[in-house]
A and B are shown apart, each in its own frame.
Chain A
Amino acid sequence: MPFDITSFQTSQLIPFLKAGFLLIVGMYIIFSLIVVRQVFSMDSIVKEVHVAIVLKILAILLTLLGIWLFLSSLAIL
């Protein structure tokens, strides 16, 4: 049966959008984990007392926010 453009509705796109969004957030989480690893490894190379802990916390926080976004979009969307 040929595809009828007149019967197409934007609601049909939603599952694809959801899957795409989850995929991108998943990639973000993997990337942020790499960032966390790099921050920790750099910290072992050069130790600067005051800022190192703040950077570690920020890196972990950004990863946790990504995981939270992934899980909540999985549940709600």
Chain B
Amino acid sequence: MPDVFTSPPSSQPAQPDSSQIINQLTPPITEHHIHALAAFCQNPLGITFATQEEGETILLFLRRHFITNFPWIFISIVLLVVPTILHILFKTPFIAADNLFSFLPANFGTFFTLFYYLLIAMYIFINFITWYFNISMVTTIRIIDIDFSDVVYKNISATKLDLVQDVNYTQIGVIPSVFDYGDVLVQTAGSQEMFDFSSVPHPQRVVKIIEDLIGRRDNAV
């Protein structure tokens, strides 16, 4: 029997999945080489993390603003200068002592001084790595927050972008306003309800980037 009607071959492409839609919506990415003291980097190059999945790229790399390191840098400088000041003071005629460690044998003074500077070096190093390893990342799939403090505390938490419900930021005080940093709060529907990116630079941009990602997800689904 001859065919009365034959449907033309389907010219419509297959329904794209959500990741394809996201890729289409995403503008061309400019990747940036991250420098050692970077606190904000969009599409960073040269960074990977242990649980990174295939095809997962880091969109945003965040640390606390470098200015938040000022207190410990100031304390370190004072501590470094203190022995010199004491030495000068003890050399003055107002204080009747030739040396700070005059009551001890000569070697003791040398070793105490060496150890003092070693402690300061360790103090600086610990504060630096505490800042350096406190990282927050936004990838194409999830949000990762790595908390590292007091050397012995380490907490790594992650949530999928699908679970992000709300994102906002707070910027309180003169210094955060001047240097443009603040706390970004990400509310999720996951086991960890709140992600806190403390004192990150350009919080408004961070919020916008995450909102855009959530929006695209919502549109894609």
Interface on A for B, CB 8 Å cutoff?
Answer: 10, 14, 17, 21, 24-25, 28, 31-32, 34-35, 38-39, 41-42, 44-51, 55, 58-59, 62, 65-66, 69, 72-73, 76-77
Contacts and interface: CB of A to CB of B under 8 A. Distances in A.
Secondary structure class of chain A's binding surface, majority of residues: helix
Contact of B122 (A38, A49, A62, A77): A62
Given A24-B115, A72-B111, 13 more contacts: A10-B104, A21-B108, A28-B122, A34-B152, A42-B148, A46-B49, A46-B135, A48-B46, A49-B47, A59-B125, A69-B114, A77-B107, A77-B108
Interface residues of B, number: 32
A38 B49 contact: no
Contacts of A14: 104-105, 108
Given A38-B129, A48-B46, A55-B129, A17 B108 contact: yes
Nearest to B110: A76
Contacts, number: 86
Ranked 8 nearest A-B pairs via Cβ: A49-B46, A42-B133, A51-B36, A47-B48, A46-B49, A73-B111, A10-B103, A45-B50
